[in-house]
Amino acid sequence: MTDRITLQVERYRPEQETEPTWQSYEVPLREDWSVLDGLNYVKDHLDGTLSYRWSCRMGICGSCGMTVDGDPTLTCAELLTDHSPGPVQVGPLRNFPVIRDLVVDIDDFMHKLVRVKPWIVREDDDQPVSEGEYLQTPAQMDEYQQYSMCINCMICYAACPVYGLDEQFVGPAAIALAQRYNLDSRDQGARDRLDVLIHPDGVWGCTFVGECTRACPKDVDPAGAIQRYKLTAATESLRSFLLPRGAR
Ligand code: FES
């Protein structure tokens, strides 16, 4: 194994350039170095103008998602040696507008997240909590725990061909997080989320390609959450159709 590897990095300043270009950098190839370590080497030693996001370096914050050799990936969790002898191509996450180089605009995702209320909704929110806590059994926690592993890295959106074609689609992580709270025994907000999820741009937009689940670095199963909610949505629609308004 050589002790160097080439990173080919997509560079783009949309306000000055009409299209992205590739720029090559040679970085040390160390056994414990991630792709993010390689980018940090570029930034610190070769080219301080390179722009990208990162924070925790341990697969927690979700900010370092990029496209590595064609796949949406957490760059802090992807070893350079797995791409040896290289070159390794690093680009921004697909399906999002580029702000600069490897930094994408996350506004669309943030708006979608807020729409599904990814927090515990309580009807007694304005009341003091009389007993101090809402107890939950381990079995009740198991219901939603898998979905709570989502770190909002947007890798599932970059992998999703439906979102790539139709940015109105609410998308995998937002729906998985909606389910995370719908399945939480302490939550009372499922009805608030229903309108968003049963809309044509909600769960019915998903064609079950399953790339979101395959790409998720935290082993969340957004595709499974969406299919599971389709059953809920169908049942709710039938209920609304069959029951008189006052009985729903
Ligand atoms: S830097 Fe936080 S997940 Fe990679």
Q: Could you say which of 41, 72, 104 is where a domain stops?
A: 104
Ligand 1 midpoint to CA 219 (Å): 16
Ligand 1 midpoint to CA 101 (Å): 18
Contacts of 82 (CB under 8 A, 6+ apart): none
Please tell me whether residues 60 and 155 are part of one structural domain. no
Mutate to test the pocket of ligand 1, among 55, 78, 102 (most ligand atoms within 8 A of CB): 55
Q: Per the domain annotation, does 26 fall within a domain? A: yes
Please tell me whether residues 114 and 84 are part of one structural domain. no
Q: Could you say which of 104, 119, 141 is where a domain stops?
A: 104
Taking the CA of residue 76 as reference, the ligand 1 atom at the shortest distance is: 4
Ligand 1 midpoint to CA 54 (Å): 5
Residue nearest to atom 1 of ligand 1 (CA): 57
Which residues, judged by CB distance below 6 Å to any ligand atom, belong to the binding site of ligand 1?
54-57, 59-64, 74, 76
Please tell me whether residues 116 and 60 are part of one structural domain. no
Q: Per the domain annotation, does 248 fall within a domain? A: no
Name the token pair of 5: 């590897």
Determine the Cα–Cα distance for residues 81 and 89; give it in Å rounded to an integer: 13
- Please give the order of strands across the beta sheet that includes 65-68: 21-28, 4-11, 88-91, 65-68, 71-74
Taking the CA of residue 65 as reference, the ligand 1 atom at the shortest distance is: 4
Please report the DSSP string for 6-22 in residue order: EEEEEE--TTT-SS-EE
What pTM did the predictor assign?
0.90
Contacts of 125 (CB under 8 A, 6+ apart): none
Mutate to test the pocket of ligand 1, among 35, 63, 93 (most ligand atoms within 8 A of CB): 63
Please tell me whether residues 114 and 219 are part of one structural domain. yes
Show pLDDT as tens, one digit a residue, over the chain (248 residues): 579 999 999 999 999 999 999 999 999 999 999 999 999 999 999 999 999 999 999 999 999 999 999 999 999 999 999 999 989 999 999 999 999 999 999 999 999 999 999 999 988 776 666 667 788 999 999 999 999 999 999 999 999 999 999 999 999 999 999 999 999 999 999 999 998 998 888 899 899 899 999 999 999 999 999 999 998 888 877 776 666 665 55
Please, are residues 214 and 231 in contact by the beta-carbon 8 Å criterion? no
Please tell me whether residues 158 and 134 are part of one structural domain. yes
CATH number, domain with residue 85: 3.10.20.30
CATH number, domain with residue 115: 1.10.1060.10
Q: Per the domain annotation, does 224 fall within a domain? A: yes
Please tell me whether residues 158 and 193 are part of one structural domain. yes
- Kindly list the distances between the CA atom of residue 120 and the CA atoms of 51, 123, 138, 177, in Å, as whole numbers in the listed order: 36, 10, 18, 11
Q: Could you list the residue range(s) of the whole structural domain that residue 19 is in?
A: 4-104
What is the total count of domains within the chain? Answer: 2
Please tell me whether residues 42 and 85 are part of one structural domain. yes
Please tell me whether residues 152 and 236 are part of one structural domain. yes
Taking the CA of residue 153 as reference, the ligand 1 atom at the shortest distance is: 3
Q: Per the domain annotation, does 150 fall within a domain? A: yes
User: In one letter, which amino acid is 52?
Assistant: Y
Q: Could you say which of 75, 104, 133 is where a domain stops?
A: 104
pLDDT value of residue 220:
95
Taking the CA of residue 77 as reference, the ligand 1 atom at the shortest distance is: 4
